[in-house]
C-alpha cells in the first residue's frame, strides 16, 4: 500500500526520469513477443487474464460497421484491465472516415489513460482490410516505439520506389537528435555513406569517430546547397533535416532578429536546399526526406511563436513538396520533450511541467526514440506522414 502511494510521488519528484522501455515479460536482448490478437470478441465473455497482456493487436478492419462499437468496447476494456507495464497496443483500421475516426478517438484517449504504466497505444491505417500492415506492427509492437503514443500512421498499400543511391545527408548531425539519426541510418539497410552537415562552430569529433563524412557549413548561407552538392558530387538517396534552433520569447518581447534567426534555420534554409537539390537533379529517384519538426509546430506553445511558425511551416512544406514530386517520399517527425543540449538549458520547472504533468508517459524521450521513427519512415512504405514522438503529450493532435 505504501509503495503504491510512494512510487507515484517519487516519480513526480524526479524531473523527467528515463522511461523503462521493455514490456514486463521481455528481457533486454529479446526483440518481440507474439501479439495478443483481438479478433473474435463479440460473443466470448470478458475475462481477467492470468498473465498480463504485453503486446496487443486489435484489428478492426474486418469488423462489420454495426459491430464496431461493441468490438472496440470489449477489446479496449480487456486491454485496460489486463495490460502489463510498458505494454504495446496497436489498433488497425482502414481509412473509412467514420470508422477510423471512432477508433482514433478511442486510441488517443486510451493512450493517455495507460501512459502512466509506460504503455503506448497507437493506430495504424491501411488502404483496405487486406493491405499490408507488417511495417506498422514491426514498429508499434516493439520497443522501437517506446515514446510514440497516441499517433495515427498510414502504411501505403504498395511498395514505394527505393533510391539506388546509398548516400544519406543529415543536417545538424554533429550532436543530439541528428547524430543519433545519422547512426541509425548507417545501421540500416539503405545507406552506407553518411554525410553530416553542421555549423562550423560545432564539435564534429563524435560524427567523425563514427566514420561519417563531415561538412562544416552554416545551412542558412546563400551558397549552402551548392557547397553540399560540390562536396558530395553524386545524387543522394536520403536527406534528414535535423538542424534547428530555438530563440524563445513571448511575442510581446520578441525581436525581429529572434524571429528571423528561427525561421531562417528551421524553415527557409530547408525550402531553399530542397528546391535547389530538386532543380539540380541531386535527389535520386525514390529519395527519402524527413524533416524534424516539433509538437510546438503542431499545437503551438507559449514563448515559441517563431519556432512554432517555422516547424508548422516545415510540415506544410513537406506536404507541398510531396504534391509536386511523386517519386520522393517526404515525411515529418514532431518530437515533444527529448533529452538533448537544446532541452538541457531549460529551467527545471519547465522540464517538470512538460514531462510529469503534460506527458502521459511521465518521462523525457531519448534521441534514439526520434531516430527509430526516422528509420521506420525511411525504410518502410510511408509518405506524407507526420509522426509525433512525444509520449502522448496532452497538447494538440
Ligand atoms: P541540438 O541543439 O542538440 O542540435 C541541433 C544541431 O543543429 C546542432 O548540432 C547545431 O549546431 C545545428 N545547427 C543549428 N543551426 C545551424 C545552422 N545554421 N547550420 C548548420 N547547423 C546548425 O538540438 P536537438 O535537440 O538535437 O534538435 C534537433 C532537431 O530536433 C531540431 O530541429 C529541433 O528543433 C528539433 N526538436 C528537438 C526537440 C527536443 O526536445 N530536443 C523537440 C522538438 C524538436
- How much of the chain exceeds pLDDT 70, in percent? 90
What ipTM is given for this predicted complex?
A: 0.99
Whether 310 lines ligand 1, by a CB cut-off of 6 Å, is no
The residue whose C-alpha atom lies closest to atom 33 belonging to ligand 1 is 244
Is a pLDDT exceeding 50 seen at residue 52? yes
Is a pLDDT exceeding 60 seen at residue 270? yes
CA distance 326 to 76: 38
The residue whose C-alpha atom lies closest to atom 41 belonging to ligand 1 is 338
Higher per-residue confidence, 353 vs 383 = 383
pTM for the whole structure: 0.95
Return the pLDDT at 207. 98
Residue-range domains of the chain with CATH: 19-154 (3.40.50.720), 167-389 (3.40.50.720)
Return the pLDDT at 1. 47
Per-residue pLDDT of 209-265, as tens digits, reads 999 999 999 999 999 999 999 999 999 999 999 999 999 999 999 999 999 999 999
Higher per-residue confidence, 181 vs 43 = 181
Task: Identify whether 307 is a catalytic site residue.
Answer: yes
Return the pLDDT at 345. 85
C-alpha cell at 73: 468496447
Q: What is the mean pLDDT of residues 110-122?
A: 95
CA distance 19 to 146: 8
How is 241-256 classified by DSSP, letter by letter? E-------B-GGG--H
- How much of the chain exceeds pLDDT 90, in percent? 79
Angle between helices 305-324 and 269-279 (to 10 degrees): 20
Of the residues 169, 172, 291, which should be mutated to test ligand 1's pocket, given the most ligand atoms within 8 Å of the CB? 172
CA distance 59 to 75: 10
300 SS3 class? coil
Tell me the Cα Rg of the chain.
21
Q: What average pLDDT does the structure give for the chain? A: 92
Whether 359 lines ligand 1, by a CB cut-off of 6 Å, is no
Whether 220 lines ligand 1, by a CB cut-off of 6 Å, is yes
Is a pLDDT exceeding 70 seen at residue 95? yes
Amino acid at each position: 500500500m505504501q509503495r503504491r502511494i510512494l512510487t507515484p510521488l517519487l516519480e513526480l519528484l524526479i524531473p523527467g526520469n528515463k522511461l523503462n522501455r521493455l514490456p514486463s515479460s521481455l528481457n533486454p536482448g529479446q526483440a518481440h513477443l507474439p501479439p495478443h490478437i483481438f479478433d473474435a470478441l463479440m460473443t466470448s465473455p470478458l475475462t481477467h487474464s492470468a498473465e498480463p497482456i504485453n503486446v496487443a493487436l486489435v484489428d478492426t478492419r474486418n469488423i462489420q460497421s454495426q459491430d464496431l462499437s461493441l468490438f472496440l468496447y470489449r477489446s479496449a476494456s480487456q486491454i485496460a484491465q489486463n495490460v502489463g507495464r510498458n505494454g504495446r497496443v496497436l489498433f488497425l483500421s482502414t481509412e473509412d472516415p467514420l470508422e477510423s475516426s471512432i477508433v482514433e478517438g478511442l486510441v488517443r484517449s486510451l493512450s493517455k489513460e495507460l501512459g502512466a504504466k509506460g504503455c503506448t497505444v497507437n493506430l495504424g491505417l491501411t488502404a483496405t482490410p487486406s493491405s499490408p500492415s507488417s511495417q506498422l506492427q514491426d514498429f508499434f509492437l516493439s520497443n522501437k516505439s517506446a515514446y510514440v503514443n497516441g499517433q495515427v500512421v498510414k502504411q501505403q498499400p504498395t511498395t514505394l520506389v527505393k533510391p539506388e543511391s546509398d548516400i544519406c545527408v543529415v543536417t545538424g548531425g554533429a550532436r543530439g537528435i541528428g547524430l543519433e539519426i545519422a547512426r541509425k541510418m548507417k545501421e540500416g539497410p539503405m545507406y552506407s555513406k553518411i554525410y553530416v552537415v553542421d555549423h562550423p562552430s560545432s564539435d564534429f569529433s563524435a560524427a567523425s569517430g563514427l566514420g561519417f563524412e563531415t561538412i562544416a557549413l552554416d545551412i542558412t548561407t546563400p551558397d549552402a546547397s551548392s557547397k553540399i552538392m560540390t562536396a558530395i558530387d553524386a545524387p543522394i538517396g536520403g536527406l534528414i533535416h535535423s538542424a534547428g534552433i530555438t530563440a524563445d520569447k513571448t511575442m510581446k518581447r520578441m525581436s525581429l532578429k529572434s524571429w528571423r534567426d528561427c525561421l531562417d534555420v528551421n524553415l527557409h534554409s530547408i525550402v531553399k536546399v530542397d528546391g535547389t537539390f530538386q532543380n539540380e537533379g541531386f535527389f535520386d529517384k525514390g529519395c527519402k526526406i524527413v524533416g524534424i519538426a516539433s509538437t510546438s509546430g503542431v499545437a503551438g506553445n507559449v514563448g515559441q511563436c517563431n519556432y512554432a511558425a517555422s516547424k508548422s511551416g516545415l510540415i506544410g512544406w513537406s506536404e507541398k513538396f510531396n504534391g509536386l514530386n511523386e517519386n520522393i517520399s517526404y515525411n515529418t517527425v514532431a518530437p515533444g520533450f527529448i533529452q538533448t543540449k537544446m532541452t538541457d538549458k531549460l529551467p527545471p520547472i519547465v522540464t517538470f511541467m512538460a514531462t510529469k504533468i503534460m506527458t502521459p508517459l511521465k518521462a523525457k524521450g531519448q534521441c534514439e526514440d526520434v531516430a527509430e521513427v526516422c528509420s521506420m519512415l525511411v525504410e518502410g512504405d510511408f509518405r506524407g506522414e507526420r509522426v509525433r514522438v512525444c509520449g502522448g503529450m496532452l497538447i494538440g493532435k
